[in-house]
Structure 1
Amino acid sequence: MTYKGYLIDLDGTIYLGSQPIPAGKRFVEALQQRNLPFLFVTNNTTKAPEMVVQRLANEFDIHVSAEHVYTASLATIDFMKEDNKGKRVYVVGEAGLIDLILAAGFEWDEENPDYVVVGLDSQVTYEKLTVATLAIQRGATFIGTNPDKNIPTERGLLPGAGSLIALLETATRVKPIYIGKPEAFIMEKALEHIGLRKEEVVMVGDNYETDIRSGINNGIDSLLVLSGFTPKGEVPHLPVAPTYVLDSLDEWDFDK
């Protein structure tokens, strides 16, 4: 199967925390040489697309444009605009989430927001979680940017956004609306951005629960690379097999 486009994860696929994954850089450069469309689809909400592009260039010598990046932050904004329940929002998250939401025309409200959006926040406090809990209890729509329980880094698997969201779900007894991978919403929007149909692309990533499930659950072929979250030992026991499994992206045949 020769694919017309590629949807690609970042954390654990192109880099691991602050460490480069050399095969990831070579993979992106091979796509660029072949003029194949690609879109980084990332659940990471801590950085705006321009910051992702800057980081890829400065830290990993990978050169792309902001149009190549679609984050769970952008998908969350797209969801709220389509949902159209109001413009008041409270966010537990970092600048890559908060700044984009406010720039999109939403207004900060800690008392009676229409939406409580929760993403990764490395500066989270009990007070932030309290404000979110009370707002959700008062009826705000509870949005989880992504369900990632952990973030793969050079230190190991750190708590992810899904861990914070699970805490608030416990405190409020309200189930969140998840936006990021493996949910349908972010994948449908990613396909709109890349301008291709689901049968024309492959989803590439290291995390079975998010990247590969986003393919399996939404009728998109998937390529699991064993460079990050999902270890090789788990592959034989996965409930639904990925379309492809590789130890390294160097093994991928673009002309298969």
Structure 2
Amino acid sequence: MQQYQGYLIDLDGTMYRGRIKIPAAKRFIERLQQAEIPFLFVTNNSTQTPEMVAANLTENFDIHVLPENVYTTALATADYLADLDSKKRTVYAIGELGLKQALLDKGFRFEEKTPDYAVVGLDYDVTYHKFELATLAIKRGAKFIGTNADTNLPNERGLVPGAGSVIALVECSTQQKATYIGKPEKIIMAKALKKIGLNKEQVLMVGDNYQTDIKAGINFGIDTLLVYTGVSTRQQIAQQKVKPTYEINSLDEWKVK
């Protein structure tokens, strides 16, 4: 088993299940902290700021981390756009505080009619008017960005619409495909790797969902650790041609050094 110098880690299904604690997850993070091994939570959730994510982990799951340990698809989207063209700094965004704050922090200005970019993410108060503005902006030439392709999100009520479902409406109305940022795309992985300051060979992607977490690692060319505490099952993985590098039932099984 290789010794990794850094970890990229999923949240829901890996660190917790909805509102349910996963005790092994807390112990895993504490082992990383004790060994002074850097880690980033890489999440497709664009609605929350890193401060909000860290506070949720600390207050509700007794996992004590800093905002600096969190890398959201909102941050990855803002980083990606900031690196595209230094002269293009206007954006129309459908999304929550996490996305809008990330864009503001990178110096973007919000513009409804002729923005350089139209970014669509999960918005709990989305309206027809917001879809209309995004559609018209893209038709006028704005580059179309989608935070992530997750069609559904699990909550206590069941599988509710995710960002991918919202983005699909704009894809339909514009007849254009969005450029996606979040897992399993390479973009968020490249940005996360840059933030953690390590090489591909030095990091491990940890997650519970083969279709997002593990495929993100596979697509980007880094090793993966699938933990069976969330979405994917051993029966499902047995049918995949490309397997995770490692498979475990609990994070208690994983030695960080």
Q: What is the TM-score when the length of structure 2 is the normalising length?
A: 0.94
Offset, 1:7: 0.6
SS in 2 for 1:143: strand
Residue aligning to 1:229 = 231
Task: Check if 1:200 corresponds to 2:202.
Answer: yes
SS in 2 for 1:54: helix
Residue correspondences, number: 255
Letter in 1 for 2:119: V
Offset, 1:205: 0.7
Residue aligning to 1:15 = 16
Offset, 1:104: 2.4
Task: Check if 1:214 corresponds to 2:229.
Answer: no
Residue aligning to 1:171 = 173
1:12–1:152 contact (8 Å) kept in structure 2: no
Letter in 2 for 1:149: T
1:19–1:154 contact (8 Å) kept in structure 2: no
Matches within 5 A, 1:40-59: 40-59=41-60
Letter in 2 for 1:53: A
SS in 2 for 1:245: strand
- Kindly provide the CA deviation profile for residues 109-148 of structure 1, in whole angstroms up to 9, marking residues without a partner as x: 1111111111111222222112111211111100011112
SS in 2 for 1:217: helix
- Kindly provide the CA deviation profile for residues 32-53 of structure 1, in whole angstroms up to 9, marking residues without a partner as x: 1222111111111111111111
Say which is worse superposed, 15-24 or 89-98, in terms of deviation: 15-24
Residue aligning to 1:118 = 120
Matches within 5 A, 1:98-177: 98-177=100-179
Q: Which runs of no fewer than 5 residues in structure 2 stay unpaired? A: none
- Kindly provide the CA deviation profile for residues 228-247 of structure 1, in whole angstroms up to 9, marking residues without a partner as x: 22233311112311111222
Q: Which runs of no fewer than 5 residues in structure 1 stay unpaired? A: none
Residue aligning to 1:191 = 193
1:144–1:177 contact (8 Å) kept in structure 2: yes
1:60, 1:111 → 2: CA distance? 43
1:32, 1:103 → 2: CA distance? 28
Report percent identity of matched pairs: 58
Q: What is the TM-score when the length of structure 1 is the normalising length?
A: 0.94
2:79–2:106 contact (8 Å) kept in structure 1: no
2:153–2:160 contact (8 Å) kept in structure 1: yes
2:226–2:244 contact (8 Å) kept in structure 1: yes
RMSD between aligned residues: 1.5
1:224, 1:116 → 2: CA distance? 34
- Kindly provide the CA deviation profile for residues 180-233 of structure 1, in whole angstroms up to 9, marking residues without a partner as x: 112222111211211211111110011211110111111100011122222333
SS in 2 for 1:147: coil
1:3, 1:212 → 2: CA distance? 16
- Kindly provide the CA deviation profile for residues 141-174 of structure 1, in whole angstroms up to 9, marking residues without a partner as x: 0001111222233433322111111221122111
